[in-house]
Amino acid sequence: MPKDQSNIRNFCIVAHIDHGKSTLADRIMDVTGAVSAREAKQQLLDSMDIERERGITIKLTPVRMKYIYEGKEYVLNLIDTPGHVDFTYEVSRSLKACEGAILIVDASQGVEAQTLTNVYLALDNDLEILPVINKIDLPSARPDEVKAEIEDVIGLPADDAPLISAKEGIGIEQVLEQVITLLPPPKGDFDAPLKALIFDSFYDSYKGAISIIRVFDGAVRAGDKIKMMSTGATFDVTEVGFFTPSSTPCESLSAGEVGYLCASIKNVSDTKVGDTITSATRPTAQPLPGFKEAEPMVFSGIYPADGAHYDDLKEALEKLKLNDAALFYEPEVSAALGFGFRCGFLGLLHMEIIEERLEREFDLDLITTAPSVSYRVVTTKGETLEVSNPTALPPMGEIDHLEEPMVKASVYTPPEYVGTIMELCQDKRGTFVNMTYIEPTRVLLEYDMPLGEIIYDFFDSLKSRSKGYASLDYEMNGYKRSDLVKMDILLNGEVCDALSLIIHREKAYARGRAIAEKLKDVIPRQQFEIPIQAAIGGKVIARETVKAVRKDVLAKCYGGDITRKKKLLEKQKEGKKRMRQIGSVEVPSEAFMTILKFDNK
Amino acid sequence: MSFGLYIHIPFCKSVCAYCDFFRGVYDSHRAQRYVGALINNAKKAAAELRPQQAADSVYIGGGTPTVLAEGMLAAALEGIKKHIKFAEGAEFTCEGNPESFTEKKAEELKRLGVNRVSLGVQSLNGATLRALGRAHTARQAVAAVELAARRGFRVSADMMLGVPFQTEADVKAFVRAMREAGAEHLSAYMLTVHEGTPLFEAVRRGEFCPSEDESADLYEAFFRAAAECGYARYEISNAAFPGAECRHNLKYWRAEEYLGLGAGAFSMLGGRRYHIKEDLDAYLAGSCEEVTDEVMSAKELALEQTVFGLRTRFGAPAEALAAAGIDAAELLSRAGRYFTFDGGALRLKEEFWLVSDGIITKYIL
C-alpha cells in the first residue's frame, strides 16, 4: 500500500472535439506499456460503439499506468473526459478527481469554442494546466501562431508547450515529463477517515453497480463497511481495484488514488454520482463539496413502438441510468402513444445517444416525440410552473405569460461565414451581443439565444453554412419572457397530443405548414379523407389533406393467386401493427419523427 | 361431391407486352407432347379424388388454349375423361383470344362439349391494343364475340383497365359493344405493369398510362356502365346477367375444391393448396412434381372462405364466420360503416370493394 503520494499524478486531457484527445490518450498508454500491442485497438478509451462511430467520448474511464522517470517509478492516472458541449457537466466531474489537465490545441485550427470552455472549467477546479500543441506533422500546422493565441486568448504561458503529433507518436515523452515535473501530486491525509468521491459509475451484471472513485483521505479495502453520505445507506465492500485499462483488483485504494469499488450495490439511487463515500464505522465529518446536479436541458417523450414493451423500456432506462447520471426520466401517459416516459437530456446529442443505446443495446423500437426545453409558466394567479411537455401547459386563459430558457452562445468562425451565420442566429431569434476578431482568420460571435432554437437544428445549420468550420459553445443564461404559444396538430379533427409543441408565435405559421406537409407525405391514404391541421388555440393556421384511398385490392384473384394474396394481407396486417391509432386515423411511427428534424430551406 | 377442374395450356401465339404469366410461344411438337403429359397428370391426380367425385365445372385456361392445332384438345379431353368424371350439365369454359377464335375453332369446341367461352378482348381502342402488343384489332374482337354468341356459347369478355390511352368513354363504349355482340359476362382487370415486361419499359419511358386514382375512376365507370346494360357486379372484377355468373371461378372465392392439371396449375383438395412445378420441360418428360402452398385447418379454411367470400356479392356465409371465430354482431358494432349482415351472410358494401384489403386486415384478420 503506497503511503507516499508524491509519485502519483492524476490528470485528464481536455480539448476541442477532433483536436486529438483520444489519440494522445492511446499514445500515452503505448509509451507506458498499459496496453499490449495486441490488445491495442484504435481509440482504446472510447469503447462504446456509438462513441467510436461518432468519434466522441461519453463514458469516463480512468486508466492507471506506471512510468519510470529519472529512476523513480510514478503512478499516472489518466482520466478521459467527454468531448461534446452536451457533456460539460460530465467533464466537471472528472476534473474534480484530477490535480492537473493536459490542454490539447490543434496546431492548425488553434483555440476553439470548447478549448475555452474546458480551460475555464479546469481553472474553476484549481487544476494546473499543461498546454500541448498537437498535429504538428500537418502541412497546415502553425505552432508559433497557435502558441501566441494560447497566450493571448487564454492567458496561459505557452512557450514551453510540447509540440507533438499524437498520431505519429512525436513528443509523447516530453508530455509525460511535464506531467511529472509540472503537475502537483495529490495531498490527502492517509490517517483521516475515508473520504472518496464517486465521479462515475457503471453497471456490471455480475458485480452490480460499480463506482469509479477518487480517494481523497484515508483508505478503502475489501471487507470494509462503507456509507454513502447523501443517503446514509451502508454496504460491504467486495472488491476494490483499478483499470489498466482492464479491471485489476487490488488490496486497497488510499488517499490520492483513483480506481473502482464494488459493494454488491443493486439499487441505482445508492451510487449517486457526486456523492461522497466514507467509512460506516469511522465516518468523516464533512462530505466533499457537492457536485452540481446534472440538469436536463432537453426533454422528450420516449414510448415503446409496441405498447406491450413498456416494461422492457422501463428496465432499459433503469440500466442506462446506472451508467449515465445525467439521464432523467419519469413515467408519462399520452392519449396518442399510451404509456411511456418523459426523459430529460443534457442536449440533443445526449438524447440521440440514449435513443441509439435503447435501440441497439436493448433491441427496442421506440417512438420519440419532438424535443422541448423546460418553459416557465406564470399563471394569472401569480404561480410559476415548470413545463417541459406541451400537453402539460395550463389552458391559455390561466396563463399570464410564458418564459423560455436563454443561452449565451459563442460561435467561432472564419470571417467569410460571418454574414450567413449572423443571418442564421437572427433567424433563430438570437440577439446580437458582440463580435470579436480573435485573429485575422477567426471571429468570435456572441449571441443571446433561446435554448429552444439551439436544440432544434441550429448546430447542423451552423455546420452546413460554414462548411464545417464554425464551432459552437453555449452556457445557460436565465429565462426571458417570450411570445410563446402552444401549437396543436389535429388529425381528422382530433388533437394528437404527441405532436403538440410550444413555439414562438412568429414561427408557428411556417412550422405548422411544414409539419402538415410532412405528415401528409408520411400518413398513408386510408378509407376516408384525413384533414391534417395545425392550430393555435382554436384557430387553424395550416391545413393539408390526405385523400381517401381509391384502390387497395388485388383485382384479379383466382386459384393461383389465393395463397400469395393471403401472404400479402398478412404482411399488410403486420405493417398495421406498427401504426398508432390516433382517433380513427392510423399513424406510422415515423410521423412522430417528422417534427423532430427539418430540412433547412 | 363436386369439384372444379382446371386445365392449363401454357402456350400463346404471341406474347403480350404486359404478360408475366407462365407461358411460352406455341410450337406444335411441344404442344403434342403436352397433351400426353396432361393425360398422365390426370391419371396420377385421379388418386387424390374421392370415388364418384365429378367435376361440375371445367375451365380450360392459359396461355391461349385456342392456339392448339385441331384435334389436340379433343385428344387431351378424351384422355383426361378416362380418369376424371365430368358431371352431367357441367359448366365448361374455354379461354380464347379473338384472333384464334375462328368458325372452325368454334365448331371444334362445340363438339368437345364446351358451352362457355371467355374471350380476351381487353380493349376496343386501336392505340391501346397496339401498346399492349395484342395480336388482334377491335373489329376482330367484336366479330369473335358475335361468332361465339351466334354459335350458342355463353360468352364472357375481358377488359383491361388502367391501360395506355384509355378514357372513360372507351370503357362505356366497350361495355355497350359487348352487350350488342352478345356477351353475358364481363371481367375487368386493372393492368399491373410488371418489371421486365416490354410495357414496363414503355411506361418508364413516359408512355401515357392512367394514374392509380384515374384507374379507380375507370373501374367505377366500367361497373356503372355494366349495371346500366344489365350486368350485375358479383365480384370485385366480374359482372354478369343474373344467373350467368361463372360457377367455376366462384369456387376460388368460396374456398371450394378444385383440381388443376398442367404445368404450374393450382389445386385445392382436402384443405391442401398445391401447384405443379412451373417447369415445362420436366412436365413434358412426365414429372408432376407438386409444390404445397398451404395446408389448412378447418378454422383456417373458414377464414379463407370469409376473406375471399367478401370479394363477392354473396358475401361470407354465417357458418364460415362462426367456424372462423368471428362474431358478426360484434364486428358490425365496430365496422358498420363497411359491412352488412342479414343473418345468412356478412357482406362488404360494394362502395368499399376496391379498397377492401385495408378493411379486411383491420377488421377480419
Interface touch A566/B355, C-beta < 8 Å: no
Same domain, B99 and B223: yes
* Integer Cα distance of A43 and A31 in angstroms: 15
Task: Residue B108: give its domain's CATH number.
Answer: 3.20.20.70
Instruction: Count other C-beta atoms under 10 Å from residue A580's C-beta.
Output: 21
Q: What is the mean pLDDT of residues B110-134?
A: 94
Rg (alpha carbons) of chain A, rounded to whole number = 27
* Integer Cα distance of A18 and A135 in angstroms: 11
Same domain, B56 and B150: yes
Task: Pull the grid cell for residue A483.
Answer: 411570445
Is B83 contained in some domain? yes
Q: Which helix (H) or strand (E) holds A20?
A: none
Q: Which helix (H) or strand (E) holds A49?
A: helix A49-54
Interface touch A551/B216, C-beta < 8 Å: yes
Instruction: Count other C-beta atoms under 10 Å from residue B193's C-beta.
Output: 17
pLDDT higher than 90, residue B359: yes
Q: What is the three-class DSSP state of A396?
A: helix
Cβ neighbours for A396, distance < 8 A, ≥ 6 positions apart: A486, A537
pLDDT digits (tens, 9 = 90+) for A349-386: 788 889 888 988 899 989 888 889 999 999 999 999 99
Residues of B with CB under 8 A from a CB of A: 6, 188-190, 212-213, 215-217, 219, 236-237, 249, 252-253, 258, 260, 264-268, 273, 275, 293-294, 304, 307-308, 311, 338, 352-362, 365
Is B260 contained in some domain? no
Q: What is the mean pLDDT of residues B240-248?
A: 97
Q: How many CA atoms lie within 13 A of A501 on its CB side?
A: 26
Structural domain boundaries, residue B356: 299-365
Q: What is the mean pLDDT of residues A88-92?
A: 68
Q: Which residue has the higher pLDDT, A242 or A475?
A: A242
pLDDT digits (tens, 9 = 90+) for A209-231: 888 999 999 999 999 999 999 88
Lowest mean pLDDT among A63-72, B139-148, B172-181, B242-251: A63-72
Task: Quote the percentage of chain A above a pLDDT of 90.
Answer: 53
Q: What is the mean pLDDT of residues B10-17?
A: 81
In this prediction, residue A547 carries a pLDDT of 94
Task: Pull the grid cell for residue A519.
Answer: 405528415
Name the domain count of chain B. Answer: 2
Same domain, B107 and B37: yes
Angstroms from B356 CA to nearest CA on chain A = 6
In this prediction, residue A268 carries a pLDDT of 57
DSSP annotation of A372: B
Q: What is the mean pLDDT of residues A58-80?
A: 84
In this prediction, residue A122 carries a pLDDT of 85
Q: Which residues pair with A523 in a beta bridge?
A: none
In this prediction, residue A83 carries a pLDDT of 58
Angstroms from A560 CA to nearest CA on chain B = 5
Q: What is the mean pLDDT of residues A442-469?
A: 88
Per CB-CB distance under 8 Å, the chain B contacts of A527 are 338, 352, 355, 358-359
Nearest-CB residue to B275 (from A553, A557, A560): A560
Instruction: Please check whether residue A208 is in contact with residue A264, taking contact to mean a CB–CB distance below 8 angstroms.
Output: yes
In this prediction, residue A30 carries a pLDDT of 85
Same domain, B244 and B306: no
In this prediction, residue A290 carries a pLDDT of 59
Same domain, B61 and B142: yes
Same domain, B240 and B303: no
Interface touch B304/A551, C-beta < 8 Å: no
Query: Cα-Cα-Cα-Cα dihedral of A311, A313, A315, A317, to 10°?
Result: -150
Query: Taking a contact as any Cβ pair under 8 Å apart, which residues of chain A between 496 and 535 contact chain B?
Result: 526-527
Lowest mean pLDDT among A336-340, B196-200, B203-207: B203-207
Q: What is the three-class DSSP state of A458?
A: helix
ipTM associated with this complex:
0.90
Same domain, B216 and B354: no
Q: What is the mean pLDDT of residues B46-67?
A: 91
Rg (alpha carbons) of chain B, rounded to whole number = 21
The whole model's pTM is what?
0.73
pLDDT higher than 50, residue A288: yes
Instruction: Please check whether residue B26 is in contact with residue B59, taking contact to mean a CB–CB distance below 8 angstroms.
Output: no
Q: What is the mean pLDDT of residues B62-84?
A: 92
Is B218 contained in some domain? yes
In this prediction, residue A84 carries a pLDDT of 62
pLDDT higher than 80, residue A283: yes
In this prediction, residue A515 carries a pLDDT of 92
Lowest mean pLDDT among A413-417, A440-444, A531-535: A440-444
Can you give the three-state secondary structure of chain B, one letter per residue?
CEEEEEEEECEECCCCCCCCCCCEECCHHHHHHHHHHHHHHHHHHHHHCCCCCEEEEEEEEECCHHHCCCCHHHHHHHHHHCCCEEEEEEEEEEEECHHHCCHHHHHHHHHHCCCEEEEEEECCCHHHHHHHCCCCCHHHHHHHHHHHHHCCCEEEEEEEECCCCCCHHHHHHHHHHHHHHCCCEEEEEECCCCCCCHHHHHHHCCCCCCCHHHHHHHHHHHHHHHHHCCCEEEECCEEECCCCCCHHHHHHHCCCCEEEECCCCEEEECCEEEEECCCHHHHHCCCCCEEEEEECCHHHHHHHHHHHHCCECCCEEHHHHHHHCCCHHHHHHHHCCCEEECCCEEEECHHHHHHHHHHHHHHCC
pLDDT higher than 70, residue B68: yes
Q: Which residue has the higher pLDDT, B21 or A240?
A: A240
pLDDT digits (tens, 9 = 90+) for A2-42: 468 999 999 999 888 778 888 888 888 888 877 644 354 44
Angstroms from A392 CA to nearest CA on chain B = 32
Cβ neighbours for B149, distance < 8 A, ≥ 6 positions apart: B155, B181, B182, B183
Strands A8-15 and A100-106: parallel
Same domain, B341 and B248: no
pLDDT higher than 90, residue B297: yes
pLDDT higher than 60, residue B261: yes
pLDDT higher than 70, residue B153: yes
pLDDT higher than 90, residue A265: no
Is B224 contained in some domain? yes
Strands A579-582 and A585-588: antiparallel
Same domain, B6 and B72: yes
Cβ neighbours for B173, distance < 8 A, ≥ 6 positions apart: B124
Angstroms from A581 CA to nearest CA on chain B = 11
Per CB-CB distance under 8 Å, the chain B contacts of A555 are 188-190, 219, 236-237
Per CB-CB distance under 8 Å, the chain B contacts of A550 are 212-213, 216-217, 354-355
Strands (E) located in A297-430: 298-304, 328-334, 338-345, 366-368, 375-379, 384-387, 399-413
Same domain, B21 and B90: yes
Is B273 contained in some domain? no
Per CB-CB distance under 8 Å, the chain A contacts of B211 are none
In this prediction, residue A82 carries a pLDDT of 64
* Integer Cα distance of A433 and A214 in angstroms: 41
Is B280 contained in some domain? no
* Integer Cα distance of A98 and A128 in angstroms: 9
In this prediction, residue A292 carries a pLDDT of 61
Query: Cα-Cα-Cα-Cα dihedral of B195, B198, B201, B205, to 10°?
Result: -150
The angle formed by the CA atoms of residues B157, B163 and B168, to the nearest 5 degrees, is 75
Residue A60 pLDDT grade (very low, low, confident, very high; cuts 50, 70, 90) = low
The angle formed by the CA atoms of residues A35, A39 and A44, to the nearest 5 degrees, is 70
Angle between helices B138-150 and B103-112 (to 10 degrees): 40
Same domain, B123 and B233: yes
Is B315 contained in some domain? yes
Q: What is the mean pLDDT of residues B125-145?
A: 93
* Integer Cα distance of B122 and B134 in angstroms: 9
Per CB-CB distance under 8 Å, the chain A contacts of B311 are 557
Strands A585-588 and A234-236: unpaired
Q: What is the three-class DSSP state of A284?
A: coil
> Does residue A560 belong to the interface with chain B, where contact is any CB pair within 8 Å?
yes
Query: What are the phi and psi torsion angles at A489 (to 5°)?
Result: -115, 125
In this prediction, residue B21 carries a pLDDT of 64
In this prediction, residue A476 carries a pLDDT of 84
Residue B37 pLDDT grade (very low, low, confident, very high; cuts 50, 70, 90) = very high
Same domain, B82 and B221: yes
In this prediction, residue A58 carries a pLDDT of 42
Angstroms from B357 CA to nearest CA on chain A = 5
Residues in chain A: 601
Q: Which residues pair with A62 in a beta bridge?
A: A79
Residue located via cell numbers 354459335: B151
In this prediction, residue A38 carries a pLDDT of 39
Sheet containing B316-317: give its strands across. B316-317, B345-348, B339-341
Is B276 contained in some domain? no
Strands (E) located in A160-218: 195-204, 208-217
